[in-house]
């Protein structure tokens, strides 16, 4: 509590007038740590040091947001520009052709790639499998990931260590257990793509194709699931809960399940390409085409399609892709490429969701590492009340 100081203090109303905002916005700035409120002896209400308010004004409006807006999110991780995707300055398509998923995940987390395999923990895998056994057979793979994340968090006594090194250790352990705990036969080798390749359907996926897909899907700037992750991290949720927040946001028709819709479209298009196109165009849009960010091409789809064309297993589905692409009216996206991969190797209809979610764990935890460095609880929009008001 300030006493005996020449510092001048402003009331909340005075700060609001000084900044040209509402008093609710001043409180929002204080809750996000952008301004510091104090109590003065013998006076009611919150006060703010004028020197701090003046410094806040001097930083300019780019340091704060208008009333009700969400805090700016600055990130060094992913750049989406000119229909290209870059991780820490490197083109994702270049990384996908030269680095493993483990290496790229480590690049996102630490700034430096490293090919060290993620550990296998048989005790943790056994604990998670016991929990998964309670799920019905119809449970989707992403449902299993949600249960696994909760179990892993509950069994880690150091889960609230939010230091970068601790988050990296969680990421390596969590992704490894996600892959190892799924039912099915693990492939040879330590890499996640090999450990996962035989667990997604009737026949093992070529590990090189799967690794390529994991790299291409590892992050995508501030997609809705990543925003959910950063909000959770802002509240200082531990890394397992952060991943759970991302998995919750993925579980929607406009995000992670898009590859399942594209899978069903390609299934129908295999028998009647133009009939399947016409039906989707009539009912709201063709799954697997176009994108909210990319303007004329999805580089992830191009890279995955190019790799699929080199595999005999994908010959028939790629012929279907080529036909429907002629009539779709826009470019194919990575969801269609995932769907083609699923058909080529007779994977389960939800396999694309599983690949997407497992890959995106790398990006989610990288964003969590960044967010843990920011002031806590900085995402506090001001609601615009539209309900009934009491009579005066």
pLDDT-derived band of residue 125, with 50, 70 and 90 as boundaries? very high
Q: What is the pLDDT of residue 5?
A: 56
Q: Where are the domains of the chain?
A: 9-63, 74-382
Average confidence score pLDDT of the chain? 91
Within 8 A by CB and 6+ apart from 278, the residues are none
| pLDDT given at position 68 | 44
Pick the CATH number of 74-382 from 3.30.830.10, 1.10.10.10, 3.30.470.10, 1.10.580.10: 1.10.580.10
* C-alpha span between 197 and 56 (Å, rounded): 53
Least confident range of 62-71, 121-130, 228-237, 306-315: 62-71
Residue 187 binned pLDDT confidence (cut-offs 50, 70, 90): confident
CB 216 within 8 A of CB 300: yes
Task: Tell which wins on pLDDT, 305 or 35.
Answer: 305
Q: Strands, E, within 206-256: which ranges?
A: none
**How large a percentage of the chain has pLDDT more than 70?**
95
The answer to whether 16 and 60 are in contact (CB under 8 A) is: no
Average confidence (pLDDT) over 175-185:
95
* Residue 287: how many other CB atoms lie within 10 Å: 23
**pLDDT on residue 43:** 82
Give this prediction's pTM.
0.83
* 382 band by pLDDT with thresholds 50, 70 and 90: confident
pLDDT digit string (tens) for 81-121?
999 999 999 999 999 999 999 999 999 999 999 999 999 99
The tens digit of pLDDT for each residue in 21-48 reads 878 788 878 877 788 888 888 788 889 9
Distance, CA of 266 to CA of 343 (rounded, Å): 8
pLDDT at position 69 is 47
- Please report which confidence band the pLDDT of residue 257 belongs to, taking 50, 70 and 90 as the band edges: confident
Task: Mark 297-325 as b/e (b = at least 16 C-beta within 10 Å).
Answer: ebbbbbbbbebbeeeebbeebbebbebbb
Fold of the domain spanning 9-63? Multidrug-efflux Transporter Regulator; Chain: A; Domain 2 (1.10.1660)
Widest pairwise Cα distance in the chain? 84
Residue 108 near residue 77 (C-beta atoms within 8 A): yes
How much is the average pLDDT of 260-269? 96
Between CA 95 and CA 85 the distance in angstroms is 11
Kindly tell me if the per-residue pLDDT of 129 is higher than 60: yes
Tokens of 298: 């999805």
H or E stretch covering 47 = strand 47-49
Highest mean pLDDT of the ranges 6-15, 48-57, 138-147: 138-147
* C-beta separation of 263 from 288 below 8 A: no
Query: Is 60 exceeded by the pLDDT of residue 61?
Result: no
- What is the Cα–Cα distance from 115 to 289, expressed in whole angstroms? 34
Could you give phi then psi for residue 81, rounded to 5 degrees? -155, 135
Residue of 16 and 347 predicted with greater confidence: 347
pLDDT of 67 above 50: no
Average pLDDT over residues 355-375: 97
Question: What pLDDT is stored for residue 6 in this prediction?
Answer: 66
The pLDDT tens digits of the residues spanning 331-348 come to: 999 999 999 999 999 999
């Amino acid at each position: 509590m300030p006493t005996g100081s020449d510092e001048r203090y402003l009331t909340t109303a005075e700060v609001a007038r000084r900044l040209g905002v509402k008093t609710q916005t001043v409180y929002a700035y204080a809750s996000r740590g952008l301004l510091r409120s104090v109590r003065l002896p013998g006076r009611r209400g919150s006060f703010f040091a004028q020197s701090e308010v003046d410094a806040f004004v001097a930083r300019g409006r780019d340091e704060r947001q208008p009333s009700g807006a969400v805090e700016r999110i600055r990130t060094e991780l992913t750049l989406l520009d000119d229909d290209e995707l870059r991780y820490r300055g490197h083109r994702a398509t270049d990384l996908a052709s030269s680095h493993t998923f483990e290496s790229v995940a480590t690049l996102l987390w630490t700034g430096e790639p490293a090919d060290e395999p993620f550990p296998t923990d048989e005790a943790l895998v056994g604990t998670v499998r016991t929990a998964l056994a309670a799920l019905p057979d119809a449970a989707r793979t992403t449902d299993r990931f949600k249960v696994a994340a909760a179990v892993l968090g509950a069994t880690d006594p150091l889960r609230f260590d939010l230091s970068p090194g601790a988050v990296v250790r969680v990421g390596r352990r969590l992704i490894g257990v996600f892959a190892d705990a799924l039912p099915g036969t693990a492939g040879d080798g330590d890499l996640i793509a090999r450990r996962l390749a035989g667990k997604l359907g009737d026949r093992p996926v070529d590990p090189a194709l799967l690794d390529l897909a994991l790299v291409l899907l590892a992050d995508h700037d501030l997609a809705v699931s990543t925003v959910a992750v950063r909000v959770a991290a802002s509240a200082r949720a531990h890394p397992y809960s952060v991943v759970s927040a991302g998995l919750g946001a993925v579980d929607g028709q406009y995000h992670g399940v898009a590859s399942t819709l594209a899978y069903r479209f390609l299934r129908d298009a295999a028998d009647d390409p133009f009939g399947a196109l016409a039906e989707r165009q009539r009912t709201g849009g063709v799954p697997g085409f176009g994108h909210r960010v990319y303007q004329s091409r999805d580089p992830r789809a191009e890279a995955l399609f190019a790799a699929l064309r080199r595999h005999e297993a994908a010959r028939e589905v790629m012929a279907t892709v080529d036909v429907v692409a002629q009539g779709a009216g826009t470019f194919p996206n990575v969801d269609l490429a995932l769907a083609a991969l699923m058909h080529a190797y007779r994977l389960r209809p939800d396999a694309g969701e599983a690949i997407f979610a497992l890959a995106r764990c790398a990006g989610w935890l990288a964003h969590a590492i960044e967010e843990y460095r920011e002031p806590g609880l900085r995402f506090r929009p001001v609601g615009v009340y539209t309900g009934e008001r009491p009579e005066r």
